[in-house]
Amino acid sequence: MSALPKKILIAPLDWGLGHTTRCLPVIAALLQEGHTVIAAAEGAPASILKAQFPGLQMLPLKGYEIRYSRNAKMFMPKLLLQIPKIIGRIIYEHRWLKRVQAQHQFDIIISDNRYGLYHPALTSIIMTHQVQILSGMGKLADKVLLSRHRSMLERFDQCWVVDDATKGLSGILAHPEKMPDNATYIGPLSQFMRYAAPDTTADHCLVLLSGPEPMRSQLEHMLWCQCCTLTDYRFIFVAGNIKGKAPDHCPEHIQYYPYLGGAALQEAMATARLVICRSGYSTLMDLDYLQKPAILIPTPGQTEQEYLARYWADSGRAVQYSQDNIQLEAGIAHIYNKHHNISTKTSTDRNGNGLKALSLWLRQQLYK
């Protein structure tokens, strides 16, 4: 492949916003290298991409539109019932790509966990951190899922695994017994790689909510009630609801935002003493990039988040609570007393070098 600028289509999955936010540094690096980048998305992912890159051309592409159960016990059964719908969307996006490729003539497609976006006429790349899917139904089921998932990932020319080969923020998810033959580790991708981090640390706790409804709203209510009583601490409360509004009465020790993104969110997290959040992998990559301890509350029934919360708690990087047993005051006191295993990165690690390294890595991969 010649070292000329490429025309690249990038398409994040709409399964939460993390797939979109981790595409932001990739898009920034590609644009910095002089490539033409076009994104495929609708709804909230498209809104985030347009907000961060106002000049970015967008192609409308339907998401998977997964619906979630209100209780943990039904989370996996309800997800399994939607498998026919997911398969239908994979078939749809594969046919969609054939149509738009005939019109746009892309050189490269980068898909974040969208399994139908591969094409024989262009370099097809899939990004994922979860090579090993955890079923919650035992090792045999997980082994069958790994075999099936590997075959799906190997339809692509390259599989970029969003983690380090040895360090590992995701444990077994990105380091299973057998990797896909086309896999290579791209390293963690934080949305904050594009910004210089502030050198000062404020004395506040950041509550950062994300994820699907109705679980997001349930957690917001639980945390809001506890934060309101903890007047000895100062909170920045980010509800993670793009269309939301602030409550009618907000206590003086709480600063409330329906949603924050980009540099504003980076500043709120970089200047926090700790972060209270879900254990979604993109959030964990942001925590790792800014070297922040956390109180992790996994989405009930979501096996990936439950595993990641345990994995990070076992490594001493976080405190974890189940959603029905949140002890915010105890968790904050534990972290404020420095009972965590966080080694602070130097300012040079957080001032753009990550994006430079990503640009170099992409250059090597795209011109193979």
What confidence score (pLDDT) does residue 202 get?
76
What confidence score (pLDDT) does residue 215 get?
84
Phi, psi (deg, nearest 5) at residue 205: -100, 135
Other Cβ atoms closer than 10 A to 126 = 26
What confidence score (pLDDT) does residue 248 get?
85
What confidence score (pLDDT) does residue 354 get?
75
Arithmetic mean of pLDDT, 89-116: 96
Q: Name the CA dihedral angle for 150, 152, 158, 159, rounded to a multiple of 10 degrees.
A: -50
User: Are residues 161 and 131 in contact, defined by beta-carbon separation less than 8 angstroms?
Assistant: yes
Arithmetic mean of pLDDT, 206-223: 90
Band of pLDDT at residue 348, cut at 50, 70 and 90: very low
Can you tell me whether residue 3 is helix, strand or coil?
coil
pTM (2 d.p.): 0.90
* Per-residue pLDDT tens digits for 318-342: 999 999 999 999 999 999 887 666 6
82: pLDDT strictly greater than 80: no
Band of pLDDT at residue 179, cut at 50, 70 and 90: very high
Phi, psi (deg, nearest 5) at residue 183: -85, 145
What confidence score (pLDDT) does residue 244 get?
80
What confidence score (pLDDT) does residue 347 get?
40
Q: Which residue did the predictor score with more confidence, 246 or 174?
A: 174
56: pLDDT strictly greater than 60: yes
What confidence score (pLDDT) does residue 357 get?
84
Cα distance between residue 202 and residue 235, in whole Å: 11
* Per-residue pLDDT tens digits for 147-159: 999 999 999 999 9
What confidence score (pLDDT) does residue 170 get?
96
Arithmetic mean of pLDDT, 66-93: 77
User: Over the chain, what is the mean pLDDT?
Assistant: 89
Supply the DSSP symbol for 325: G
Percent of the chain with pLDDT over 70: 91
Cα distance between residue 126 and residue 24, in whole Å: 15
What confidence score (pLDDT) does residue 287 get?
95
Arithmetic mean of pLDDT, 67-87: 73
